[in-house]
A and B are shown apart, each in its own frame.
Chain A
């Protein structure tokens, strides 16, 4: 195990009115680990992401990252603590260039104040150089350099997903939450994405929590898989164990996969 912070969800629940969307969930993600989160539609997977990133506050239970309690912290504070995410339906800054998309995420590197920005002081210019080189480096890593100046909305879907990962990496995370990164990708793109996730995880020494419906991806790259159904964790273990778990087969996988 690599050194670094780990994420731990301790008996976390959230209710919306009478609906218990996530119920008593315990889940740990250790440094450097790639954990899959699977389950049928509406099982509460994205809700778990929203709980971790502070979009929702848990009704009960605690979420810790690097031994700090995240409950009630704002999303931007949680991002600054080292957790970055991508969205199920990409949420790029559509009207801005790819480079600007990544630069915005590298915002935390800035040391200059708003006042510096208003008057373009040397301090602001120095920030701009740092952020620019970091953003260009990330575009390079994700082979997006050729579209740096293109509008994010004009990219094909597969590359938009890559751009979202580049953007998440620009926040310098220790834990990366990927919400269905392969959705809408063709088999070639999915294949490339799998290698990318592995590569990025190793290069940046990241822990990854992955929501994905493409079982080939999940079963190939995940170290550990947790299965959610109706907000309850029904199974957790390595891909082999999950694949043969009767409850998982009944709720999600279906007979033919097993």
Chain B
């Protein structure tokens, strides 16, 4: 099958799911949880590129998410309405105009997050060790405090009235993109170079792997997808608040990849779903909810210290992935 055909088929399936899912799950609360699962999968799998594949330790993922969220929201709220209106007048259906607006805003939001990733990564990834953790910790907080103090984007009041353009199609497209990229990298020479850095950075460098370049590239790609997840989140919730992007949010994403097994894409997916569902399932027990959540995490880490999947993968053939050479 040609690549174009595969892509078309995939988009067709996504459109179908987009149409079927709200019909099958009319309960808006369940629907919301499913969407959050998707967004969290994008966050966990993208962070896995840095923390799992390359073996660096970034703890500022929420910061990149915030950049993507606010950047895309400002674009669709302030820059695009005129264009959308004129396109709708020209006879284009809303699905197309809103989708296109979300797509452009998401790409731009992701790109701005990637740019921030480059600015943070270049100086801190030249060094070995824990510098990245410290720098990204500071970075995440800086982003949150800046947003908190800029009145033009709502400040502490938050930014409300973000158009709700996000639907199942776009979330799934984001998930498919970040998962495909991860699997493809794993089976390419570039992904192996990233794993080499995780295993032994000195040896990787001695064998001709430009380690700094790979670490920065992985970090930038990871930041991009965090920005994408942020943009999808912004246009799903219609309301943004700086308190959604605290240090705790970053820790939640780290918990997902640690629980899933550092370096395992399928583990990250499973854990993202599990840790999104868990607090929801525990809602009936009210105030004990987070206590049980924490206790379950501890028990899981004691019984499976290297995560659900370790570094192993479930073998599923993804639309863009190649076959393992025989």
A interface residue numbers (CB < 8 A to B): 53, 55, 74-76, 79-80, 84-85, 87, 91-96, 100, 103-108, 110, 112, 114, 116-120, 124-125, 127-129, 131-132, 167-168, 170-171
- Tell me which residues across on chain A come within 8 A of B325, comparing CB atoms: 128-129, 132
- Tell me which residues across on chain A come within 8 A of B189, comparing CB atoms: 103-104, 106-107, 110, 112, 117, 124, 127-128, 131
- Tell me which residues across on chain A come within 8 A of B127, comparing CB atoms: none
In the complex the two chains form, what is the Cα distance from A226 to B191 in whole Å?
Answer: 41
Does B205 lie within 8 Å of A75, measured CB to CB?
yes
- Tell me which residues across on chain B come within 8 A of A104, comparing CB atoms: 189, 192-193, 195-196, 204, 207, 209
- Tell me which residues across on chain B come within 8 A of A118, comparing CB atoms: 181, 184-185, 188, 190, 221
B interface residue numbers (CB < 8 A to A): 180-181, 184-185, 187-193, 195-196, 199-200, 202-211, 217, 221, 311, 320-322, 325
Select one of B181, B193, B199, B204 contacting A95, CB under 8 A.
B199
B192 nearest in chain A by CB position: A104
In the complex the two chains form, what is the Cα distance from A95 to B325 in whole Å?
Answer: 20
- Tell me which residues across on chain A come within 8 A of B200, comparing CB atoms: 91-94
Does B208 lie within 8 Å of A93, measured CB to CB?
no
> Provided the pairs A100-B195, A114-B190, A120-B321 are in contact, do residues A108 and B185 lie with their beta carbons within 8 angstroms?
no
Select one of A75, A79, A93, A108 contacting B195, CB under 8 A.
A93
- Tell me which residues across on chain B come within 8 A of A108, comparing CB atoms: 208
- Tell me which residues across on chain A come within 8 A of B211, comparing CB atoms: 76
Task: Identify whether the interface residues of B are mostly helix, strand, loop, or mixed.
Answer: helix
- Name 12 A/B residue pairs within 8 A (Cβ), A-sorted: A79-B205, A92-B203, A93-B195, A95-B199, A96-B196, A96-B199, A104-B192, A105-B208, A118-B181, A120-B322, A127-B189, A171-B208
- Tell me which residues across on chain B come within 8 A of A74, comparing CB atoms: 205, 210
In the complex the two chains form, what is the Cα distance from A132 to B188 in whole Å?
Answer: 11
Does A119 lie within 8 Å of B320, measured CB to CB?
yes
A177 nearest in chain B by CB position: B206
List 7 additional contacts besides A117-B190, A120-B322, A128-B189; criterion CB under 8 Å.
A55-B202, A74-B210, A93-B203, A112-B188, A125-B322, A132-B325, A171-B207
In the complex the two chains form, what is the Cα distance from A206 to B241 in whole Å?
Answer: 63
Select one of B180, B188, B205 contacting A76, CB under 8 A.
B205
- Tell me which residues across on chain B come within 8 A of A167, comparing CB atoms: 207
In the complex the two chains form, what is the Cα distance from A53 to B203 in whole Å?
Answer: 11
> Provided the pairs A94-B199, A128-B187 are in contact, do residues A107 and B181 lie with their beta carbons within 8 angstroms?
no
